[in-house]
Chains A and B, each alone.
Chain A
């Protein structure tokens, strides 16, 4: 079965990203396909490569990157939500005249159309948020 995942909250403050991670991981382990993980609202903050959590805590964005690499997942940050919150890939940083990009490996920036497309492609769309 094909799943689409929508995450509406950032890491650490809310449990949404953790819940979504465990769900996604369990779905993939069960042999299901995840067509896309889409990050919206503060959820785009999951895509930063600059977070430095304490050693004894999980690194939420690294964990997503690793899962993405293992299963060849599409991890998409909404471009409008990301620009508002200062999540930029190299192209966006250059275009906006900013001095650096901060996106974690495996994440991509794209439009909201990718969320609608996930809803169309997937058999199930599940929303994690607050």
Chain B
């Protein structure tokens, strides 16, 4: 079984995403929620890291947190999937360990 990594911090403010990427095994999925969703956008200082992460991880972002922050869905890095809370729950059932990078 595997670990679902949950990141809720902006990559421009805290090191949660970097620590997650350093310690998540290849193929472990990453879910971005709350301020973590700021990592989804193209043309940011975090975009290259996300691009690289996508080569070894599935990356998901919580749609309601994205909408709340006014992020344009057209400006999301290709390959990142949006999920709603039902999808969030489903992800947690598919992976037996949950690591929140608070």
Taking CB atoms and an 8 Å cut-off, the chain A residues in 57-86 that contact chain B are none
A94 within 8 A of partner (CB) = no
A106 within 8 A of partner (CB) = no
Once A1-B93, A19-B33, A19-B34 are accepted as A-B contacts, the answer to whether A124 and B85 lie under 8 Å apart by CB is no
A26 → chain B closest CB, angstroms: 4
Which residues of chain B have C-beta atoms less than 8 A from A26's C-beta?
Answer: 85-86, 88-89
Contact partner of A27 (CB less than 8 A), chosen from B35, B89, B102, is B89
Taking CB atoms and an 8 Å cut-off, the chain B residues in 33-50 that contact chain A are 33-35
Size class of the contact patch on chain A: 20 to 34
Q: Count of A-B contacts with CB under 8 A?
A: 46
Indicate if the CB atoms of B102 and A127 lie closer than 8 Å: yes
Indicate if the CB atoms of B34 and A15 lie closer than 8 Å: yes
B26 within 8 A of partner (CB) = no
Q: Report how far A122 CA is from B13 CA in the complex, Å.
A: 33
Indicate if the CB atoms of B100 and A129 lie closer than 8 Å: yes
Indicate if the CB atoms of B102 and A125 lie closer than 8 Å: no
A12 within 8 A of partner (CB) = no
Once A123-B96, A124-B96 are accepted as A-B contacts, the answer to whether A32 and B89 lie under 8 Å apart by CB is yes
Closest A residue to B95 by beta carbon equals A124
Indicate if the CB atoms of B93 and A124 lie closer than 8 Å: yes
Contact partner of A124 (CB less than 8 A), chosen from B8, B34, B92, is B92
Indicate if the CB atoms of B92 and A126 lie closer than 8 Å: yes
Which residues of chain B have C-beta atoms less than 8 A from A32's C-beta?
Answer: 89, 93
Q: Report how far A32 CA is from B91 CA in the complex, Å.
A: 13
Which residues of chain B have C-beta atoms less than 8 A from A23's C-beta?
Answer: 85, 88-89
Indicate if the CB atoms of A126 and B100 lie closer than 8 Å: yes
A95 within 8 A of partner (CB) = no
Closest B residue to A8 by beta carbon equals B102
15 residue pairs of the A-B complex, CB under 8 angstroms, read A3-B92, A8-B102, A19-B8, A19-B33, A22-B85, A23-B88, A30-B89, A30-B90, A32-B89, A123-B96, A124-B96, A124-B98, A127-B102, A129-B100, A129-B102
Using CB atoms and an 8 Å cutoff, list the residues of chain A in contact with chain B: 1, 3, 8, 15-16, 19, 22-23, 25-27, 29-30, 32, 123-130
